[in-house]
Amino acid sequence: MTGDPFWHPDRHADRRPFLTARRKIKRALEDWFEDEGFTQVECSALQSSPGNETHLQAFKTDYRDDTGVQKPLYLHTSPEFSCKKLLSAGETQIVDFARVYRNGEVSPLHSPEFTMIEWYRAGASLENVIKDTVELCRTAAKTMRTKTFEWKGRVCDPFIPVELLSLSDAFLVFAHIDLELVLDDRDLFADFAIEAGIGISKDASWSDIFSAVLVSKIEPKLGNGQLTVLYRYPICEAALARACEDDPRFADRFELYACGIELANGFHELTDPEEQRARFEDDMALKEKLYGERYPLDEDFLKALETMPDASGVALGFERIAMLAAKAPSVHHMIWTPFEA
């Protein structure tokens, strides 16, 4: 951030219309969830594990009891583990407007501290929560009387029918790569990516190549004209999603895009604790190789998965959808006291 600090009266006056819009949008989305019968929860930010995604960097701290014994803790990168524990406890429809923390992420679309709307429906399919996500985008737009989302010259009408696009189709259309052909062939995938004009290092993993193609060739083409739902991710990119019943090479996962911006990420949730443990251990082994550190597994979460009901859930970046609905220049304009390095 440059220029005057956020507390300077002139800068605050410029930002205040966006902050007022934030309040209106948040209230409208909370009302939507209440009308749908959701229980709003508030999950604790301090956790034994911040999450186990390879590339996410967490904030670490220590808890000290009255005897001086210290225990390492982390600020959560998502309320996901806690929400799923509540599903195991018997909750069936929950939402958390959670403050979450991700180290090292600062850009017009990233803040180290931001609000994530995370919700779960027990017994629901991925299609059910995709509909939720689209309705929330439309509710934010209606609240601000915004007809189109706009970002860096791109325009998206959230009210017209949504584009549904599988990863396989997206790779074929935008990168001319047959994703199914390279699912088990890292070298062939690298060759195709290089042919598409993407720089690939010799030690790049399959997932590295996948991310490079996705970011450079596919994401900029999504959510232009209408909202895009990108779905059926390769199983190695499943995170906490279960495999598709009709083809276990792919995961029952989606992401929603507007104007090339990822707004939401949703799963038909994996409830197999052994499979989830194996994925976490693989991700943490890679994290240690790349970054020299690994985060502990939340054993309590893995235990809770044993009794967690079938469910689908979504994480939606609140400041991003609010930014588009209010036509703000960045997510930082939607935060009352933004991070300033």
- Measured at the CA of 118, the angle between CA 112 and CA 121, to 5 degrees, comes to 165
Question: pLDDT by residue (tens digit) across 183-238?
Answer: 999 999 999 999 999 999 988 999 999 999 999 999 999 999 999 999 999 999 99
Q: What is the pLDDT of residue 126?
A: 98
Report if residue 36 sits inside a domain.
yes
State the residue range of the domain holding 246: 9-162+227-334
Report if residue 213 sits inside a domain.
no
Least confident of 3-7, 269-273, 295-299: 3-7
Q: What is the pLDDT of residue 216?
A: 96
Q: State the total domains in the chain.
A: 1
Which pair of structure tokens corresponds to residue 171? 């790779």
Question: pLDDT by residue (tens digit) across 92-122?
Answer: 999 999 999 999 989 999 999 999 999 999 9
Report if residue 32 sits inside a domain.
yes
Q: What is the pTM of this model?
A: 0.96
Is the dihedral angle over the CA atoms 119, 244, 238, 229 positive or is it negative?
negative
- The arithmetic mean of pLDDT across residues 247-273, rounded, is 98
Question: pLDDT by residue (tens digit) across 136-169?
Answer: 999 999 999 999 999 999 999 999 999 999 999 9
Report if residue 120 sits inside a domain.
yes
Mean pLDDT of the chain: 96
Q: What is the pLDDT of residue 86?
A: 98
CATH number for the domain that contains residue 111: 3.30.930.10
Q: What is the pLDDT of residue 2?
A: 57
Range 41-79 burial, b when 16+ CB lie within 10 A, else e: bebebebbbbbbbbebbbbeeeeeeeeeeeeebbbbbbb
- The arithmetic mean of pLDDT across residues 10-17, rounded, is 97
- The arithmetic mean of pLDDT across residues 266-275, rounded, is 98
pLDDT bracket for residue 341 (50, 70, 90): confident
Report if residue 207 sits inside a domain.
no
Q: What is the pLDDT of residue 1?
A: 47
Backbone dihedral angles phi then psi of residue 15, each to the nearest 5 degrees: -85, -20
Report if residue 248 sits inside a domain.
yes
Report if residue 184 sits inside a domain.
no
d(Cα 154, Cα 228) in Å, to the nearest integer? 13
Question: pLDDT by residue (tens digit) across 22-58?
Answer: 999 999 999 999 999 999 999 999 999 999 999 999 9
d(Cα 101, Cα 104) in Å, to the nearest integer? 10
